Chains A and B, each alone.
Chain A
């Protein structure tokens, strides 16, 4: 994926940026991996995490598994540039009550990031792509959760939303622009 950046907006003192890049290679305090219930890293970004990060991450996860939908856990990031990985188990494949579950997953993810004192946090389009969560819904729920969270989190200075393709880019860019025009502060 080509590196691209949309400078986004400021939200309650934090900068929210949109990038099209490999989330596992970002130089941030923490990034989010959309994990499975058994916390096996598996394929996709999981491959990148285990290959680039080394075996310590999966080893840490063994002690934390399993997690229910809506829960999240934090590990170190091994040899990756980031310091921490937040492993978030969100809804998948159009299961019932999708929006509420995605929102609670986001809330728990942000609580984990706060717990480790993250000043910069990278998020994927949570559940979009392989897990089939509609991109527009994903963007709306994620930005609502961020908006609410950042009211009370003074430590988080930078949020990077890392997307995979043009449809995701367009959805988040539109949502960020709406935020910027409407209620960014």
Chain B
């Protein structure tokens, strides 16, 4: 850029443009140059479908807001004939704020548009790049700032303090001992040389500890040699959402280092789409870490236990009609679509598909960290009409998903559109379906004996 331009630009605008040059990988550059504006992506976006007639929600339109900067500053076409390729620049903080509203508020990085693009343009990847550039100069939604700082400084994205985390594990251990009437059941912490180190989402500690006790119950019945970690236990990674690769690397390395310290053989990642993608797929690159142990989603672990006969399940314990919501990160970014269904069919009696599904499923509306960006809640819930219609058409009473983010996104949509459905995860269904030898299906009250199986209900 010229000296004159530098003098008239805010320092934030200048840093964003300079930073872009360092982020232009072949994948991002390919996506930035390849768009032919054919419009194939338009109908794939849930924001477009919920806002018919408003072209500003179209993925190609949103992408052009980033692409114009690339064209002007990093591509020869924008330097030779900027008017033709619609090249442009940014000068003020207000312009950056407008860009923030697009990259954080109008796209959940769900990647559905990518699957519709004949040129393979990956909007989510360069949208994430744009987020990262804005975050690097302090321009981000307030919720993103809060969560990022929490994860940097407390090691987890919900600011759960160590004592609260450990107390919750103890509490869940006691609950489980009572439930199974077995004082030997434990939730081990920092046990070295285990076959499984189990990592979780801090949401489980703060809002849904039942998922922890359900997982512990499954590990106990499977006689797994497992542990949780006192530090480095958060498998989520807000760096994926905020575009901050340094945060991504820091969080991932804390997790990997702890598993190494404990000499764990397998890191099992509880059900979370972005957590799995961040830890299993992106983390080793962000952290520049050569991971020496196996990393698997708990979906695979639970399925393995059933196939190996380590746990027995009775699907009649989950009789309600259920449908499965594919998390964007599992289905589109990691290609995991069949294993959760296989597991679901093993533990539920009545499974109904929603359409479209698998890699073509629609976002729950909470993708890309959207649940933390309250300033965009209205737009998000409006876009949720697409998901609501999908859910309603299944006739299911329960929506199952393998992602804590999706649990919150779906719960919000169900409440907003008054669908009256429950949201649950595979771990809850598997734990509920467990057949525990020697344990009666119901509490035995003298004089009020009930035949096992006569009143089974999820």
Interface residues of A (CB under 8 A from B): 1-2, 22, 42-48, 51-52, 92-96, 129-130, 132, 164-167
Query: Known contacts being A52-B161, A166-B257, is A95 close to B250, with CB within 8 Å?
Result: no
Asked if B53 CB lies within 8 Å of chain A CBs, one says no
What 6 A-B pairs have minimum CB-CB distances, sorted nearest first? A44-B153, A93-B138, A44-B149, A130-B152, A47-B159, A129-B152
Which residues of the other chain, B, contact A44 by a CB distance below 8 angstroms?
149-150, 152-154, 159
Are A130 and B149 within 8 A (Cβ)?
Answer: yes
Query: Known contacts being A47-B154, A164-B153, A166-B257, is A94 close to B231, with CB within 8 Å?
Result: no
Docked complex: B420-438 residues within 8 A CB-CB of A: none
Q: Which of A45, A52, A94, A167 is the one whose CB lies under 8 Å from B250? A: A167
Query: Known contacts being A2-B231, A2-B261, A47-B154, is A167 close to B249, with CB within 8 Å?
Result: yes
Q: Which residue of B lies closest to A166 (CB)?
A: B253
Interface residues of B (CB under 8 A from A): 11-12, 15, 136-138, 145-150, 152-155, 159, 161-162, 231-232, 246-247, 249-250, 253-254, 257-258, 261
Q: Which residue of A lies closest to B146 (CB)?
A: A43
Which of B137, B148, B152 is packed against the most chain A CB atoms within 10 Å? B152
Q: How far is the CA of A42 from the CA of B145 in the complex (A)?
A: 10
Which residues of the other chain, B, contact A96 by a CB distance below 8 angstroms?
11
**Selected A-B contacts with CB under 8 Å, 24 pairs:** A1-B232, A1-B254, A2-B258, A42-B146, A43-B145, A43-B147, A43-B150, A43-B159, A44-B149, A44-B150, A45-B153, A45-B154, A46-B149, A48-B153, A48-B159, A93-B136, A94-B11, A95-B11, A129-B152, A130-B152, A132-B246, A164-B152, A166-B253, A166-B257
Q: Is the interface of B mostly helix, strand, loop or mixed?
A: helix
Which residues of the other chain, B, contact A129 by a CB distance below 8 angstroms?
152-153, 246-247, 250
Are A94 and B137 within 8 A (Cβ)?
Answer: yes
Are A130 and B153 within 8 A (Cβ)?
Answer: yes
B40 CB, min distance to chain A CBs, angstroms: 37
Query: Known contacts being A43-B150, A129-B153, is A48 close to B250, with CB within 8 Å?
Result: no
Q: How far is the CA of A166 from the CA of B254 in the complex (A)?
A: 8
Which residues of the other chain, B, contact A93 by a CB distance below 8 angstroms?
12, 136-138
Q: How far is the CA of A74 from the CA of B60 in the complex (A)?
A: 51
A90 CB, min distance to chain B CBs, angstroms: 13
Q: How far is the CA of A6 from the CA of B212 in the complex (A)?
A: 35
Q: How far is the CA of A164 from the CA of B138 in the complex (A)?
A: 20
Q: How far is the CA of A167 from the CA of B245 in the complex (A)?
A: 13
Which residues of the other chain, B, contact A94 by a CB distance below 8 angstroms?
11, 15, 136-137
Query: Can you add 8 more A-B contacts, CB < 8 Å, to A44-B152, A44-B154?
Result: A44-B153, A45-B154, A47-B159, A96-B11, A129-B246, A132-B246, A164-B153, A165-B253
Q: Which residue of A lies closest to B153 (CB)?
A: A44
Are B162 and A164 within 8 A (Cβ)?
Answer: no
Q: Which residue of A lies closest to B258 (CB)?
A: A2
